[in-house]
Structure 1
């Protein structure tokens, strides 16, 4: 395992880390801009990352967010964990309001359909997410809401 991945997982488990989410996401965006999308904080540590672009439900403005993802069945899984914060991230509310979005993964932009995993499909998807990022289980323990799992499939 990539030693940076071990470090990222260890850091991701810290209860104080969510306070620095804006700084970390800002650094990730800066690194992506400087490297023209070839490097991100997550990919440097051997973790898969995508850029999710979804229309804002209130503003109609396209919003792009870097997210840890899991390639899955020809598409991607993402979890609305918000690093274990009680409130879901804004992109979850935006994604709930639309049927489609766009994903940039490894330099390729793909239009995707969006759906929430439920039942047995959610359990299998959750297991795949936790295998990649074990902290999802920790985040789920910290909060009372169920963390939504989104399946993003190419159109």
Structure 2
């Protein structure tokens, strides 16, 4: 068994602020606002080595995922919500329910070696797409527990949302 990933969140896991933010994130306007905050969130996460996020006050579990661009060969870093499962982190390519897959998912399919920054640590990982439909449903349900926005994202698009398991390399 691999070493467990740290799990660091700041802010409350329950409460009015979290419920309100989750409801807002599920709206089209909320998705747009969060997309616009992504560059700021990336900078904050990079400066704090994954300890703090713009979404922190609501207790959102966020990592920085750095992949290798499949076309450019350059590092590409994206802040993502994750589901923590001991020695596995799950990430999902919701892309806020847009019609296209987010670029980072294609990068992982082309080169599964990546890095996550979480709780002050940079950890090399290997990604594997979750293919089993039962496992996909189980992991997706955990994302829905994190925020109801994932239900809205899934309903907005006809594509399958790619789910990846990240394990220490």
Equivalent residue of 1:16, what SS?
helix
Count, aligned residues: 155
Per chain length, whose mean CA-contact separation is higher, i.e. which structure has more relative contact order (CA < 8 Å, sep 6+)? 2
Q: Say whether 1:127 aligns with 2:141.
A: yes
Match in the other structure for 2:152: 138
Match in the other structure for 1:113: 126
Q: Say whether 1:103 aligns with 2:116.
A: yes
CA distance in 1 between counterparts of 2:114 and 2:38 reads 20
Instruction: String of CA shifts for 1:9-62, please: whole Å, max 9, x gaps.
Output: 122111133434542102213433565643202222101000000000001101
Gap regions ≥5 residues in structure 2 = 1-13
Match in the other structure for 1:8: 21
CA distance in 2 between counterparts of 1:31 and 1:7 reads 23
Deviation at 1:147, TM superposition (A): 0.6
Equivalent residue of 2:28, what SS?
coil
RMSD: 1.8
Q: 12-21 vs 108-117, which deviates more?
A: 12-21
Asked whether the 8 Å contact 1:103–1:112 carries over to 2, the reply is yes
Q: What TM-score does the superposition give when structure 1 sets the normalisation length?
A: 0.90
Equivalent residues in 2 for 1:46-125 (5 A)? Answer: 46-118=59-131, 119-125=133-139
Distance 1:22 1:88, change over 3 A: same
